[in-house]
Each structure stands twice: as structure tokens, then as C-alpha cells.
Structure 1
Amino acid sequence: MKLKMLLAAIAVGAAGPALASEAVMTVFKTPNCGCCVAWVEALEEAGYSIEVQDLNDLSVIKKNAGVSDEMASCHTAVLEEDGRKYVVEGHVPLEALEKLRLERPEIRGVAVPGMPMGSLGMGNDPSARYDVLELSTKANAPVFMSIGDR
């Protein structure tokens, strides 16, 4: 019996750090946006823990997140992991999210402005070309990652 308790304690202790580093994302979208649903489903399939908040008006969310009209897309998300929070605006691909999580840069977040055809949730075309930008108030936001052949 003591051996079982010891093994259980070791198992819980070993699982602790892995659970603590799990990314959680809250996605704010409008109720009838099909491409937002496709983006969320792709993230869930990749193992992300997602909470969806359906709202009729996202303007307050975007304003509070610091998303300008130039950077805006159809949904806004907040990625939380290990005490860090990043704003994720629009159809940001999985590879950009993984880069964000690995590098943990000192930025507010990332954005794919508009709704580029072929991006994640917008057809998932591997040949699509677009940029993932650093979420910025600058007129020319820095490119965080380029997607597709350039």
C-alpha cells in the first residue's frame, strides 16, 4: 500500500511541471463566424486548450488588447502560458504560435491582419503567402514570421 502511495506521489510530482506549462487560449469571436470556428478547431486538434467567448461586438475586446484597425481581423485571442500573456489577432498559423511559445519575445502579441485566403481557418492552403506581424502601434509593424515561399 505504501509503495502505491509513493508511486502515485511521484507520478503527480512528475506531471506537475508539464501541466504548469500548458498553454491556454481564450478566443473572442462573433457567434456566426465560420472561419473563426475552423481556426479554433485546428488549434484544438493541435492540442491547445481553448475557451471560446462568443460576443456580438468585439470592439471593446480589440481596444483593450491594443489591436488597431490596421491590425484587426475577425477574432482576437489571448494566449496564456507560464505567467506570460500574448494577444493573438486573426488567422495566426500554428508555426507562428509555436515560435511565439518557444522564443517568448518581449512583444504584446502577433497578428495576421484581415483574412488572408489560404491562412489557417481560411482554406489552409500550404502555398499561401502572408506575414504574421508583431502586434504594434507602429505604422509599419515588424514582421514576426513570413508564411509561404518568399
Structure 2
Amino acid sequence: MSKLLSKITITVVAIAISTFGTFYLTSTSKGNNTVNSSNLAIANDNHESATLVSVWDKETEPDYLGTKEMTVYRSPSCGCCGVWVEHALKHGFKVEDLKTEEMEALKQKHNIPPELASCHTTIIDGYVMEGHIPADDIKRFLTEKPQLAGLAVPGMPIGTPGMEAQDIKQPFQVLAFNDKGEVEVFKEYQSY
């Protein structure tokens, strides 16, 4: 019963946050409404496009020479996951984007503690990356090659890569975890 309740809670929270955070209306200079999905441009009524600049567009690890091939697993209906994939691509990663309905089983297979769960799971160089982790944090982690299982940004904090919503930026932590489920703070974002 506890696992079912946990699965339902995660699903409801993911839907609510992605609905609020991923898509929003803004007005263009001509007064037309444009639906923007984070930093991706979507054409408005006049076939013009508006591009939002993301705080995450600036690459702080340009000399990264490590592994660039990653596999992202996500639900077919998850829009914010697709925006995160675009973030990873902008930072030089080569992404195999796999859509699956078996996300809970995948998280269990990779020993992701339930309290660290998010909407997508990435596997890179034998490590697990869970959720909306900034690409530069992944690069730093892979450069250090710690004896850990991976990184996680639990839930779906508004403002993280793929979850941007205008000027809303929730503080969040990138957490490192090991195979035993022990967790430590890898990086903390209070203001960004």
C-alpha cells in the first residue's frame, strides 16, 4: 500500500508541477499570446518565434573532455523532460532519448531511493542522474569520478533546467547518493 501511495503522490506532484512550470502564457510586443516551453521557441499566431534566454545556457565547464553519451529514460507524456534533454544537448551531450511507461521499475532497477525520485532518469558512464540536474554539475561529477551511484534533484523544483517558469526560481540541492542510499549535498542553489 505504501509503494502505491508513493507512486500516486509522485505522479500527482509531477503532473501539477509540470503543468504549472513547463508551459505558461506571455504577451509578445504585438499583443499576441505565445506559449513558451521554458527556453524553447514555439511559433505564435504570426509564425514568429520568441526565444527565452535560460540562466542555464551559460556553460561553466567548457573544457570538459569526459563521457558525453547519455541515455535518458522518461515518460512519453513528460514535456519538462524533453526540455531538459534540450538543455543537455546545448551543453554538448549526445542523448539517446528513450520514452517508457516503466519508470518506476527503472528507478528500482537502478536503486534510486524513492525520496530522490524525479520525472526522468539518465544513465551516463555507469552513473545514475535523476531529475533536473544542471549539465555542468553532471560534468563536474563525471570529472571527479567519485565512488558514488550518482546525482539527483528530487521532485521537480521550479527554475531548474527544464522547469523554468519566467522569474520563479526555487532553491534546490543537487544530491549525491551511493548504492546504500546514503545522501550528501553535491551543490546547493539558493539564488541563481
- TM bracket, shorter-chain basis: 0.7 to 0.9
Distance across 1 between alignment mates of 2:66 and 2:160: 27
- Whether 1:114 and 2:155 are equivalent positions in the alignment is yes
Contact 1:71 1:135 (C-alpha < 8 Å) held by counterparts: no
- Whether 1:38 and 2:83 are equivalent positions in the alignment is yes
Q: Could you tell me how far 1:147 is from its partner in structure 2? A: 2.0
TM-score, L = length of structure 2: 0.60
Supply the RMSD in Å over aligned alpha carbons.
2.1
TM-score, L = length of structure 1: 0.76
- Whether 1:135 and 2:177 are equivalent positions in the alignment is yes
Higher relative helix content: 1
Could you tell me which amino acid in structure 1 is paired with residue 85 of structure 2?
V
Distance across 1 between alignment mates of 2:78 and 2:191: 29
Unaligned ranges ≥5, structure 2: 1-64
- Whether 1:57 and 2:99 are equivalent positions in the alignment is no
* Structure 1 partner of 2:54: none
Contact 1:131 1:144 (C-alpha < 8 Å) held by counterparts: yes
Q: Could you tell me how far 1:97 is from its partner in structure 2? A: 0.9
Could you tell me which amino acid in structure 2 is paired with residue 60 of structure 1?
A
* Structure 1 partner of 2:115: 70
The correspondence for 2:69, drawn from 19, 24, 29, is 24
SS in 1 for 2:84: helix
- Whether 1:86 and 2:131 are equivalent positions in the alignment is no
Distance across 1 between alignment mates of 2:98 and 2:168: 29
Could you tell me which amino acid in structure 1 is paired with residue 145 of structure 2?
R
Percent of residue pairs identical = 34
Aligned length: 125
Contact 1:126 1:148 (C-alpha < 8 Å) held by counterparts: no
Q: Could you tell me how far 1:129 is from its partner in structure 2? A: 2.0
Q: Could you tell me how far 1:100 is from its partner in structure 2? A: 0.7
Q: Residues 126 and 94 (structure 1 numbering): CA distance in 2 closer, same or farther, change over 3 Å?
A: farther
Contact 2:72 2:97 (C-alpha < 8 Å) held by counterparts: yes
Displacement over 3 Å in runs of 4+: 124-128
Could you tell me which amino acid in structure 2 is paired with residue 144 of structure 1?
F
Distance across 2 between alignment mates of 1:118 and 1:144: 18
**Which piece of structure 1 moves more, 124-133 or 33-42?**
124-133
Q: Deviations over 1:6-61 (max 9, x none)?
A: xxxxxxxxxxxxxx954210000000100000000111111100001100121111
Larger Rg: 1
- Whether 1:98 and 2:143 are equivalent positions in the alignment is no
